[in-house]
Structure 1
Amino acid sequence: MRNERAAGAPPPRPASLAEWREAADGSAGSVTFTHAEGDHVVVVHRWRKPGATTVVLVHGIGMGQQYFGLLRAELADAFDVVALDLPGFGESPEPAESLPMAALADLVAAALEAHVPMPCIAVGHSMGTQVVAELAVRHPALVERLVLIAPTVNPRERSGWKQALRLLQDLSNDPLIVAAVGARLYLQAGPRWYLRKLRTMLEHDIRPLLPRIAQPTLVIRGEDDRVAPRGWVEQVAALLPDGQLRTAKGKGHEAMITGAEPVSRMIEEFAR
């Protein structure tokens, strides 16, 4: 595992929810596919760049692909970018039951194989790191590199109320726009589905997967992240056979929501 100092402070960011929505709107030029197995639907949004490496963005709990808007727009200059709405989030309808992480990774693999050039750089944020870790182990031919942003779940705080407390503490240090965007997306998912998925997230332990990940892996932690504390993220990186850890200065758990920098630059450098 390699460690690196915190990257520089981010540039100016959207100051309001309206500005964020305008800046994050990358729908122009995108194509959308749906992949369904029973009532479990993955919505695949793709911003094509023929001949470029595919980057797949997998969101965390309560979110959707729109959450990646600013990061996605920045990466689209260099990559063929794909962003997913997992079952029950974003534009994907709520299924009756929550899939275990391994089964969810299998569903994602099927959706990607059907609609996206593979292999890819798989990027997961928060709960999305659990999905892409399973994807890398269960479907290694689909993933050439892996990026884990704010990995979950810290084993010392594996309960719903502790995760909620840490998230609230994290948000207290962030601009109001972060809470506004997060609240909008959480409300879209709805409390019933959120709680079902939270149970699945807390039951899943990423640690046994990490030594089995053969792909080069970049772990990114926001310097001020309360949900994914430094000791836990260092443990994640240390368990990886080919892992490196970088720190995003001035960022919390929601590391990309107010601006793509420095996360986009870290991913671009890692892809070289």
Structure 2
Amino acid sequence: MHRVEEFSHAGATLIAERRGHGERVYLLVHGIGMGRAVFADLARHLGDGEVIALDLPGYGEAPEPARVLTIERMADLVAAYLRERVDVPAVVVGHSMGAQIALEIAVRHPPVVDRIVLVGPTVDPAARTAPRQLWRLLRDIAVESPRVIAAGAREYVHAGPRIRAKFRAMLAHRPEDVLARAHAPALVLRGEDDPVAPPDWCARVAATLPDGRLAEVPDHGHETMIRDAAPAARLIRTFAGEA
């Protein structure tokens, strides 16, 4: 049974879709231009426990805030949701921009986090410009399936006309400056063919985290959790102690 709820804090609102029950809680945080719908396949494969997928403010069905939120402010909002609506520390799974948010939650609000999973983490400092990020995204999309392209297109439409400002907020965040302060156990997960999160950057992220490790999903790109999420789910469940 799915439950959908709104949560507001400091002038911004997110939407949370909750499914399942149990002591373990997975919280899924989407990337730029996306929404909770892209996690449908991953949620089905995450096994026992509760899975919570979010629409961040201005994405999916969540209303636009008065001002585009920084990565830090989005982390504060999600952490407030976890404190008020979730009884146990969560396994926070962030994809792409969502990995930046998951990282900041672990740094700024460690009590709400059991561990973090950074899937296809952005932003690689070697490509911290809009043209370079867009070029990497286009390279990834060019080899994806029609299902992935269609899902992404729908979500980008939902993200609305302020997508450029949201993109700037993502690029302004510097994950490399805070990695060493995230003490929760961390899994850095990348698709083997992901041009957005290249291997040298992901290896640097895993090595800089105090308790980090790196894993790859063969034959997948940046959208590894949209197209056939089962391999990623197995790695996440093993990391979380389920298997």
| Shared fold (TM-score, shorter chain, > 0.5) | yes
Aligned counterpart for 1:196 among listed residues 158, 161, 165: 165
2:9/2:80 contact within 8 Å kept: no
User: Does 1:91 find its partner at 2:79?
Assistant: no
Does residue 43 of the first structure (1) align with residue 12 of the second (2)?
no
Match of 2:27 among 56, 64, 84: 56
**1:229 and 2:198 matched:** yes
Q: Is the 8 A contact 1:33 1:115 kept in 2?
A: no
RMSD of aligned residue pairs (Cα, Å):
1.1
1:151 aligns with 2:139: no
Does 2:3 align with 1:31? yes
Deviation per CA, 1:78-116, whole angstroms, max 9, x where unpaired? 121111110000110112211121121111111122222
- Native 8 Å contact 2:28 2:92 kept in 1: yes
Identity %: 45
Shift of 1:203: 0.3
Aligned length: 241
Please give the TM-score of this superposition, normalised by the length of structure 2: 0.96
Query: Residue 241 of structure 1: CA displacement?
Result: 1.1
8 Å CA contact retained: 2:23, 2:88 = no
User: Secondary structure of 1:99's partner?
Assistant: coil
- Does the 8 Å contact 1:33/1:43 carry over to 2? yes
d(CA) in 2 for partners of 1:31 and 1:164? 35
- Which residue matches 2:208? 239
Following superposition, the deviation at residue 166 of structure 1 comes to: 0.7
State the structure with bigger RCO (CA 8 A, min sep 6), 1 or 2: 1
Which residue identity is paired with 2:147? Answer: I
* Residue-by-residue CA offset, 1:225-267 (whole Å, 9 max, x unaligned): 0111111111111101111100000010111111122100001
Alignment of 1:57-136 (within 5 A): 57-75=28-46, 77-136=47-106
CA distance in 1, matches of 2:77, 2:28: 15
Equivalent residue number for residue 187 of structure 2: 218
Q: What code does the residue aligned with 2:122 have?
A: T
Is this contact kept in 2: 1:225–1:252, CA < 8 A?
Answer: yes
Q: Could you state the TM-score of these two structures normalised by the residue count of structure 1?
A: 0.86
Separation in 2, partners of 1:60, 1:160: 15
Determine the structure 1 residue equivalent to 2:229.
260
Runs (5+) with no aligned partner, structure 1: 1-28
Q: Aligned-pair distance for 1:39?
A: 4.2
**Do 1:125 and 1:151's aligned partners in 2 also have CA atoms closer than 8 Å?**
yes
Structure 1 or 2, whichever has the larger Rg, is 1
Name 1:269's counterpart in structure 2: 238
Aligned-partner residue type, residue 132 of structure 1: A
Displacement of 1:147 in angstroms is 0.3
